[in-house]
């Protein structure tokens, strides 16, 4: 066992704001918004679609993906164009 001093955290500290639906800056993906390209798991997080849907869009040509060695990436501008091209709902 480790025999060291314990760190006591005060309960008076304000809770972090993790309301991702209303404040994107609090989300894990906020730092990813300024990337030039995203890997497939990041694309899924950013647009809320699953892996299968993303790969189907790539296969059909709706979403342009690029390969670097073993990594599949989607440029931010291609992802934005894909999302803009989706049909609007009423």
| For residues 50-54, average pLDDT | 97
- Reported as a single tens digit per residue, the pLDDT across 65-81 is 999 999 999 999 999 99
Task: Report the chain's mean pLDDT, rounded to a whole number.
Answer: 79
Residue of 30 and 54 predicted with greater confidence: 54
Residue 58 has pLDDT above 70, yes or no: yes
Segments making up each domain of the chain, as ranges? 24-85
65 CB burial (10 A radius; 0-12, 13-18, 19+): buried
> What's the confidence (pLDDT) of residue 24?
47
> What's the confidence (pLDDT) of residue 90?
86
Secondary-structure class of domain 24-85 per CATH: mainly alpha
Cut 0.75: pTM above it: no
């Amino acid at each position: 066992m480790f025999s060291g001093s314990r760190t006591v955290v005060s309960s008076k500290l304000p809770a972090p704001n993790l309301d991702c639906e209303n404040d994107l800056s609090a989300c894990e993906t906020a730092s990813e918004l300024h990337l030039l390209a995203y890997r497939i798991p990041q694309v899924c997080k950013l647009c809320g679609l699953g892996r299968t849907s993303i790969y189907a869009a790539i296969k059909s040509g709706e979403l342009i993906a690029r390969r670097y060695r073993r990594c599949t990436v989607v440029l931010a501008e291609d992802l934005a164009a894909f999302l803009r091209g989706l049909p609007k709902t009423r």
